[in-house]
Amino acid sequence: MSLLRIAGRPLLASMFVAGGLQSLRRPEDLAPVAEPIVRPVTDRVPVLPDRTEQLVRLNGAVHVVGGLMLGLGRCPRLAALALAATLVPTTLAAHRYWDAEDPSERAQQRIHFLKNLSMMGGLLIAADDTGSAPSLLWRGRHAAQDLRHDAHPVRRSVRATARPAATAAGVRAKLSACAGR
């Protein structure tokens, strides 16, 4: 594993662990901000909890677990994907700069919104990172190429032996036909 991965994953994960712990400890602080996003989501997805505090806590748990997994390098691609998925509603709920009236507040929210977009970009890169090991798709393609490559000499060998065998069978058939008369 490269030094950049060893250092980069925990750095990327640290924000999620810290924010997730805050959401787990005090969901009531974030519930009013999350409410405009939670209601439409819970109406469409019935398996989610109804109370906003519970959803904030659930989101925080995903952030903590996903952040720890990413930081420790345990299933980092899956963890990065889960974090990226939970970052969308978090960003839309907490950093609605387009609704801010005060210009300085709008500027701050825009900075946080763009910061979250940047983090999402890093998470998507981490989700695609195979850690210098070939992906399953690459391995499958190359296994198929290897099979085609290995099959080529077999095909030539079969063709080379099939012609004389067919000729011998034809001669035998003619001899049998002649002997039977």
Most confident of 10-14, 33-37, 125-129, 174-178: 10-14
pLDDT band at 162 (very low <50, low <70, confident <90, very high): confident
Q: Give the separation between CA 119 and CA 18, rounded to whole angstroms.
A: 14
Q: Which residue has the higher pLDDT, 149 or 20?
A: 20
User: Lowest-confidence range among 5-14, 22-31, 87-96, 172-181?
Assistant: 172-181
Structure confidence by residue, pLDDT tens digits, 73-130: 899 999 999 999 999 988 988 898 998 899 999 999 999 999 999 999 999 999 988 7
Output the pTM of the full model.
0.69
Confidence tier at 69 by pLDDT (50, 70, 90): very high
**How would you label 63-78 residue by residue, b for 16+ Cβ within 10 Å and e otherwise?**
bbbbbbbbbeeeebbe
3-state secondary structure of 73: coil
pLDDT at 45: 85
Token pair 């750095």 is at which residue?
11
Q: How far apart are the first and last CA of the chain?
A: 79
Across the range 129-141, mean pLDDT stands at 75
Q: How far is CA 174 from CA 55, 161, 163, 166, in A?
A: 85, 20, 17, 12
